[in-house]
Amino acid sequence: MQILNRFSQRRFLMPDIDAVLSALRRLALADPAVCRKLLSANHTPNPVDSFCSTAAELGYTLSPMDLINAGEQYYADMRRSTNGGGENSPLLKGEDDYFELFMAELSEIFARQV
């Protein structure tokens, strides 16, 4: 029982990636400087780490593994929802990369702000 309690406590420590990205999206929409700062992660040697560091500076806990796991989970859910989710499901290119999809959305937001 104690192991289960430790596990369930850890689950609550994991951030809700959709909620974090939605909050960051709202900040980026409200403030072009925040949008620019988040987008600047793309111009660093390790964009995902830089993005997570910027999110932390803005008060949102996010790790690279959180982003990777969320993207893979979203992709797996999508594959299961098409054609019964078997091996014959269509290949969905690029749909598993939450980071790239979010950065593309931020780029569009920034283009509208300028």
Residue-wise pLDDT for 52-73, tens only, equals 999 999 999 888 888 887 777 7
pLDDT score at 13: 52
Residues 6+ apart with CB under 8 A from 82: 89, 90
Residue percentage of the chain with pLDDT more than 90: 45
For residue 18, name the pLDDT band (cuts at 50, 70, 90). confident
Mean pLDDT, residues 36-60 = 95
Burial degree of 42 (CB within 10 A; 0-12, 13-18, 19+): middle
Annotated domain spans of the chain: 16-113
Tell me the average pLDDT of the chain: 79
Does the pLDDT value for residue 76 go beyond 90?
no
- Can you tell me the mean pLDDT for 5-23? 66
Helical (H) or strand (E) element with 38: helix 32-39
Q: How many CB atoms lie within 10 A of CB 29?
A: 14
- CA-derived radius of gyration, the chain: 16
The structure tokens listed for 20 are: 């974090």
